[in-house]
Structure 1
Amino acid sequence: MTAEASEDNSYVEDPPTDFEPVEDIDAETARQQAQQLREAIRYHDHRYYVENDPVIGDRTYDALFARLEALEDHFDLDREDSPTRRVGGEPLDELESVEHVAPMQSIDQGGEETDVREFDDRVARGLADAGFDPAERAYFCEPKFDGLSVEVVYEDGVYQWAATRGDGEVGEDVTENVRTIPSVPGRLRGDYPDFLAVRGEVYIPTEDFQAYNRERIERGDDPFANPRNAAAGTLRQLDPSITAERPLAIFFFGVLDASVDFATNAAVYDRLPEWGLRVTDLAEEVDSIEEAIDYRDRLLDERDDLPFEIDGVVLKLNDRAACEALGSTARAPRWAFAYKFPARTERTTIRDVVVQVGRTGRLTPVALMDPVEVGGVTVSRASLHNPAEIERLGVDVGDEVRVQRAGDVIPEVAEVVEAASDGTFDFPESCPVCDSPVERDGPLAFCTGGLACPAQLERAIVHYASRDGLDIEGLGEERVQQLLDAGLVEELADLYELGQLDLTSLEGWGMQSVANLQEELEASREPPLDDFLAALNVPSLGDATATALAREFGTFEAVMDADREQLQAVDDVGPKVAAEIRDFFETERNREAIERLLEHVDPQPYEAEGGDELDGLTFVFTGTLSNYTRSEAQELVEAHGASATSSVSGNTDYLVVGENPGQRKREDAATNDVPIVDEDEFESLLAERGVLD
């Protein structure tokens, strides 16, 4: 039992979780209960995060924590050092600078045994010059964590501030973010010093890193390259509540300044846990440089089995008085050395395979691996491309593989070096995001969820609002992502239900921008049929096909209900395109999303504008025209009765070529005896037909 959790604290051992409603207790009872809960939660945090020996279950802990939050909220009992502060404070405008209480220096390093022996020789000479017996030199060895170094300061046992290393003299103030890390105590334990500034390494445990990357990939975000980048990016978040959601941890390994003295560096490791500060149990005292080298070699062998990333070991002269005598250079202490591990190169182990759903619904398997250096870049994920590639490689979780960078850019699994099992990764039959059935198209796999799949929603909305869709200004990628992150839009129809208060609560949305968007949305409620069809982002259904379908069927309901044979009878709609259109509209979840959308949007029946001067003609355009965009040229001929298709066939009447035309279309035109005309000849034809004056 500790000073923070006295023997009469009922929330320490077998705590009750059946609490009276906060409304039924008085303020003094609430204050006493909150104080006991704070003490108990600190005790349980220490048992869980420092001693790795919890005495209560997660649900019980959560109940105690929730009760403390409820008391603090209802009775306004919030305290600066309360464990509830870990859920994150108010977002910051920027990270301020803070000067360290003592320099946070770098450490000289090397990866060869000769480098370490030279360091040992320098230490021996320095000790002799300073009056110490070099024969008695001993070292304290610890893992070199691959994370982000921070300074954490306590006064009178209470957490005060934290800062990144920065340039060693001044760092970034990350006080609120570090406060959210569960293994950072808000108050020290036991017989702590009046002042203590400690150095620690913030990191993300390997298993948590892989799980967090899996979540990011499944929701369509880019995964972090490695745990260090993830920890660094998380610690520099301006919103502490985001930091609180991510699985950060910390090991403390040094004292920058304190109101107590330590005889040895080993003594630092003995005292820090007494005060509630977590240290690794892998550190060791050794009596010679030979033993230090052996220590490094042991940890190198154990590296892949550790629950966190290390990239070497740190050797410190153990006697702190001797350390002070040796002093430092301008950048590094003379009494410490980092003996680096060789970089993992090309061969690594797959720890998980997660299936990413792309914006088009394509499913891409991604291997999450132990970080490995490939072409000078450390990577921890690699593409497996598609289900057929998994089967070809015979790859599964646990396999040791060789990784390469395709085109020197994208990491990919090249081969299985040593299989962990006889099987291969079992590719899912349903979408990991929306649970819709997965369909195979040759070597590829696709989610059939369409408009109802959250992973495809951002792309669907951006396309819906783009110039190729309904041309709704104010709905670019960044703002669409804002709406999705805020939970304001879960399908297209939700755009039309956005209220003014919903939008003005978002960062960067003023009253005028909200009014503009609402005006744009209102103007899109009665779109032309062909524009609406193009806006739905139906596979293989572009502008020209949308216009051809609108002309052929006249109404949206007729297009949606057309069978494959009817669709295939339309110019520019072949068997594959017809099948994709039919599958899109037959998917139940797409139909549901469209029906909801139709409650707000009324696509207008198609009415051909202009005349029939070009009736019966079919045009194909290629290259860049000077007086029209390709879309404008297509719309022009279609408005006067012609068809504009994307490929040349025996039914094509003219191929119109601009600058840099496609070779394939010209070859097809020659094969099918289709006249090829340039832009001037095209306009002359339009003039002859009465389309142009």
Structure 2
Amino acid sequence: MDIQNTIQKIREELNLHNHNYYVLDTPTISDFEFDLKLKQLQDLENKYPEYFDENSPSQRVGGTITKNFQTVAHEHRMYSLDNSYSKEELMDWEKRIQKVLGDVPLEYTCELKYDGASISITYENGKLKRAVTRGDGFQGDDVTNNIKTIKSIPLKLKGNFPDKFDVRGEIILPFAGFEKMNQDLIEIGELPYSNPRNTASGSLKLQDSAEVAKRPLDCLLYFLIGNNLPFKSQFEGLETARNWGFKVPKEAKLANNLAEVFEFIDYWDIHRHDLPYETDGVVVKVNSFHFQDELGFTAKSPRWAIAYKFKSEQVSTRLNSISYQVGRTGSITPVANLEPVQLAGTIVKRASLHNADQIEKLDIRVGDTVFVEKGGEIIPKIIAVDLSKRPENTEPTKYITHCPECNTALVRTEGEANHYCPNFYGCPPQIIGRIQHYISRKAMDIEGLGGETVALLFNNGLVHNYADLYELTVDQILPLERMAQKSAENLVKGVENSKNIPFERVLFAIGIRYVGETVAKKLAKHYKSIDALRQATLMDLILVDEIGERIAQSVIDFFENQENRIIIDRLKSFGVQFEIVEHINPNATDKLSGKTFVVSGVFEKFSRDDLKKAIEDNGGKVGSSISAKTDYVVAGDNMGPAKLDKATKLNIPIISEDDFMNLINEG
């Protein structure tokens, strides 16, 4: 067997599958099959290191640490674009072009302006050589190791291409991935990221490329530059780049005149809200490279391109007051309380001011008239103060120095934007927040107990931590406001039933900082019990798959605290599950190995949970939604019409629970 050829063949297969999945969105093999091929490649590369290739698909998982990013000069300067805000400005731009070119017919390429972080990537002999951030346009930071983890960026090109050229693209974070990242942060008590653009940009400068690999970043190509490129126009360049393997948005359009440019703008001004990522305008480029060369550049911008910026809906209103909220981790968030105003279809009364730096930057003061817009079309934000309407004799806002709830002096760690209240065990909102997290649906899921009731119990001195819940009695609860006999009984019963919640969810529920659902499952699976986990050293924890130093240190800090240890011991004494209960299933098989199932509808012979367990017991994987990677849909009564329609369109077999039983009983 020719090892080198075998390795090369597997690399080419994996590159093709990556392209099909991340660029074309038409996968041809399952995740399981892909992972098997990748594992085979990694094993061969480890055994035969002489065939190492820095652009192998095995390198996409990251793991390289970059302490300092090297500054690199751009071979071709990265210019910024002039902005326009009206069609009249675009017509003036065309007149300036015609002054240079004369009265010649002009074609324009219209592309959406993606709101992310610009990147320049150099390819030599069809292989990714270097990736550099925009920086100041003349030089940027070498982020090659991080860029290689983004799976829509080809490591090796296909077809006929020049020996050397650069591509320019925008690194973006689609809304779905951004929301998932924020949900994970919220679940571990951390502040969510402010917007996809800043998060995408910040991701490029993470020191550990393995962390970048976990983020669902994407790259949309918008330009190619180099000598002897095999095309003569911008639009032809985009089409060619797509054939080479780049992800080029299909929304780009060739316009024969400015009227067609306006049609493109009008269409996307409305339909941009349907896109899976942020866009804030349209970039219009003279299509012909010959004309581009003739037009040249100003000191800052190309004369042959201009950005038309969509108008963000913006309103002005009065800032009535600033209040400060305390999260369950002690983080302080300043909130602007506004005179209610209509904005993008909703009434806005409040807007986050993020932190002390933001307040100082805006010089925002109570009584000011402020401009508010929807940041990323989602979250209201104050973008400026109307100084012409500022009342006389106002004083600059002084950020609070003490917790608004417990009057403890606030702290601010160097390098962090937020102030914190360090009174972790005595500050009411932090205590209430931790108990609310403990009872939440994804944690202990205590029926009959909601967030308001937790506050009621705390304010009446009945609970001071989540262990106190297990000593509550119906007689204690009955005198509380809005508590009838049945409600009190349901609450006590719900707390009792929570003793059956499995260890991994208990571990998530106790609220160790940075330990979300996924991390809790990994730690529970690795250590099996709370006793083993509390004895783990920092290095032991770091060696666990996907557990970094920050999470490891947080676990150590949690168990070093005496009050936490007392609470855990009390929970154990009440019968809460603090170890994994191993259930040996004598009927388990691997008949469904490599198959992904989605379960939908109501079943007669199984509960949905039993059906999912049967899938996993027989080596299968349970998917949350139907996609091209789904092998079967197990359908009961009242299957959702949207799922039925999607499964039908994707030609995914829809089977009954009887069909499923036959599947696992075969042979």
Deviation digits for residues 223-272 of structure 1 (CA, Å, limit 9, x no counterpart): 21111112111111111000011101111110122442531111111210
Q: Write out per-residue CA displacement over residues 464-500 of structure 1, whole angstroms, 9 at most, x where no aligned residue.
A: xxxxxxxxxxxxxxxxx9xx99x99996884555377
8 Å contact from structure 2 (residues 190, 514) kept in 1: no
Where does residue 32 of structure 2 map in the other structure? 59
Determine the C-alpha separation between the residues in 2 that align with 1:378 and 1:125: 48
Q: CA contact under 8 A between 1:189 and 1:276: conserved in structure 2?
A: yes
Q: Which residue of 2 aligns with 1:210?
A: 179
Report the counterpart of residue 332 of structure 1 in structure 2.
301
Q: Determine what percentage of the aligned residue pairs are the same residue.
A: 28
Which residue of 2 is the match for residue 674 of structure 1?
A: none
1:58 to partner: Cα distance: 2.6
Greater shift in the superposed pair: 155-164 or 252-261? 252-261
- Whether the 8 Å contact between 2:188 and 2:511 is mirrored in structure 1 is no
Q: Give 1:332 deviation, angstroms.
A: 0.5
What TM-score do the two structures reach when normalised by structure 2?
A: 0.56
Taking the aligned partners of 2:127 and 2:346, their CA distance within structure 1 comes to 40
Provide the residue aligned with 1:44 in structure 2.
17
Rate the CA distance shift 1:309–1:508 in 2: closer, same or farther, 3 A: closer
Structure 1 residue identity aligned to 2:56 = S
Aligned residues of 1:460 and 1:536 also touching (Cα < 8 A)? no
Look up the SS of the partner of 2:112 in the other structure.
Answer: strand
Match of 1:243 in 2: 212
Residue 94 of structure 1: aligned partner: 68
Contact preservation (8 Å) 2:185, 2:192: yes
Q: What residue identity is the alignment partner of 2:82?
A: D
Residues 488 and 443 of structure 1: CA distance in aligned 2, closer, same or farther (over 3 Å) = same
- 1:330–1:261 CA distance, 2 compared to 1 (3 A): farther
Match of 1:589 among 549, 566, 576: 576
Q: Deviations over 1:249-300 (max 9, x none)?
A: 1111101224425311111112101211110100011111121111011111
Shift of 1:172: 0.8
1:437 aligns with 2:427: no
Please list the CA deviations of residues 443-472 of structure 1 after superposition, one character each: whole Å capped at 9, or x if unmatched. Answer: 6679947995446444799xxxxxxxxxxx
Deviates more, 1:441-450 or 1:60-69: 441-450
Is 1:373–1:379's contact at 8 Å kept on the other side of the alignment?
A: no
Asked if the contact 1:344–1:371 (Cα under 8 Å) also holds between the matched residues in 2, the reply is no
Secondary structure of the structure 2 residue equivalent to 1:314: strand
**1:72-107 Cα shifts (integer Å, max 9, x gaps):** 123334311211110114211111111111000000
Q: Are the aligned partners of 2:352 and 2:380 in contact in 1 as well (CA < 8 Å)?
A: no
8 Å CA contact retained: 1:101, 1:256: no
**Counterparts of 1:539-558 in structure 2 under 5 Å?**
none
RMSD: 4.8
Please say if 1:320 is aligned against 2:289: yes
Is the alpha carbon distance of 1:429 and 1:257 closer, same or farther for their aligned partners in structure 2, counting shifts above 3 Å?
same
Q: Is the CA contact (8 Å cut-off) linking 2:542 and 2:549 kept in structure 1?
A: no
Higher deviation after alignment, 251-260 or 156-165: 251-260
Secondary structure in 2 aligned to 1:84?
helix
Gaps of 5+ in 2: 317-325, 331-342, 355-376, 383-396, 400-435, 459-464, 469-504, 580-667
| 2:301 alignment partner, SS class | coil
Q: 1:585, 1:313 → 2: CA distance?
A: 60
What is the match of residue 80 of structure 1?
54
Counterparts in 2 of 1:569-608, with a 5 A limit?
588-589=575-576
The letter of the residue matching 1:213 is N
Partner SS, residue 226 of structure 2: strand
- Give SS of 1:64's match: helix
What secondary structure, in the 3-state scheme, does the structure 1 residue paired with 2:166 have?
strand
- Contact kept in structure 2, 1:197 and 1:258, CA below 8 Å: no
Q: Does 1:292 align with 2:261?
A: yes
Cα-to-partner distance string for 1:196-249 (whole Å, 9 max, x where unaligned): 111011111222222222222223332211111121111111110000111011
Asked which structure has the greater RCO (Cα within 8 Å, sep 6+), the reply is 2
Residues 1:31 and 1:434: Cα distance change in structure 2 (over 3 Å) = farther
Question: Structure 2 CA distance, aligned partners of 1:56 and 1:170?
Answer: 41
- Give the whole-Å Cα distance in 2 for the aligned partners of 1:371 and 1:64: 49
Change (3 A) 1:47 1:507: closer
Q: Which amino acid in the other structure matches residue 339 of structure 1?
A: Y
Q: CA deviation at 1:115?
A: 1.9
Task: Work out which of the residue numbers 250, 254, 258 in structure 1 matches 2:223.
Answer: 254
1:114 aligns with 2:88: yes
Distance 1:211 1:460, change over 3 A: closer
Supply the distance in 1 between the matched residues of 2:88 and 2:24 (Cα, whole angstroms).
37
Q: Does the 8 A contact of 2:188 with 2:513 survive in 1?
A: no
Equivalent residue runs for 1:610-625 within 5 Å = none
Does structure 2 conserve the Cα–Cα contact (< 8 Å) formed by 1:359 and 1:457? no
Asked if the contact 1:225–1:378 (Cα under 8 Å) also holds between the matched residues in 2, the reply is no
- Residues 1:224 and 1:492: Cα distance change in structure 2 (over 3 Å): farther
Note if contact 1:266-1:285 (Cα within 8 Å) is conserved in structure 2.
yes
Q: 1:144 aligned to 2:131?
A: no
Distance in 2 separating the partners of 1:103 and 1:455: 51
Q: Any conservation in 1 of the 2:66–2:207 contact (CA below 8 Å)?
A: yes
Q: 1:197 to 1:429 in 2, by over 3 A?
A: same
**Counterpart AA for 2:92:** E
For residues 304-453 of structure 1, the aligned pairs below 5 Å read 304-345=273-314, 358-359=328-329, 431-437=440-446, 439-440=449-450, 442=452, 448=466, 452-453=506-507
- Note closer, same or farther for the CA distance 1:357–1:31 as it changes in structure 2 (3 Å cut): farther
Say which SS state the counterpart of residue 136 (structure 1) adopts.
Answer: coil
2:259 partner amino acid = E
2:192 — aligned with what?
Answer: 223
Shift of residue 373, structure 1, vs aligned partner: 13
In 2: Cα distance, 1:266 partner to 1:284 partner = 8
| CA distance in 2: counterparts of 1:125 and 1:287, whole angstroms | 19
Contact 1:81 1:187 in 2 (8 A): yes
CA distance in 2, matches of 1:490, 1:110: 61
Distance 1:373 1:192 in 2: 54
Distance 1:494 1:338 in 2: 55
Contact 1:374 1:404 in 2 (8 A): no
Which of 135, 140, 163 is residue 194 of structure 1 equivalent to? Answer: 163
Aligned positions, number: 430
Please give the alpha-carbon distance, in whole angstroms, between the structure 2 residues aligned to 1:240 and 1:460: 19
CA gap of 1:78–1:220, structure 2 versus 1, over 3 A, is farther
CA drift at 1:47: 2.1
Structure 2 letter corresponding to 1:154: Y
Contact 2:72 2:142 in 1 (8 A): yes
Q: 1:436–1:448: 8 Å Cα contact kept in structure 2? A: no
Indicate conservation of the 8 Å contact 1:149/1:200, yes or no.
Answer: yes
In the aligned structure 2, how far is the partner of 1:78 from the partner of 1:169?
A: 33
Q: CA deviation at 1:63?
A: 2.0
Paired with 1:492 and 1:222, the residues of 2 have a C-alpha distance of 30
Q: Is the 8 A contact 2:162 2:229 kept in 1?
A: yes
Match of 1:632 in 2: none
Deviates more, 1:318-327 or 1:429-438: 429-438
- CA distance in structure 2 between the aligned counterparts of 1:175 and 1:587, rounded to whole angstroms: 53
Partner Cα distance (1:91, 1:402) in 2: 34
Q: Does 1:233 align with 2:220?
A: no
Change (3 A) 1:158 1:492: same
SS at match of 1:103: coil
Aligned position for 1:68: 41
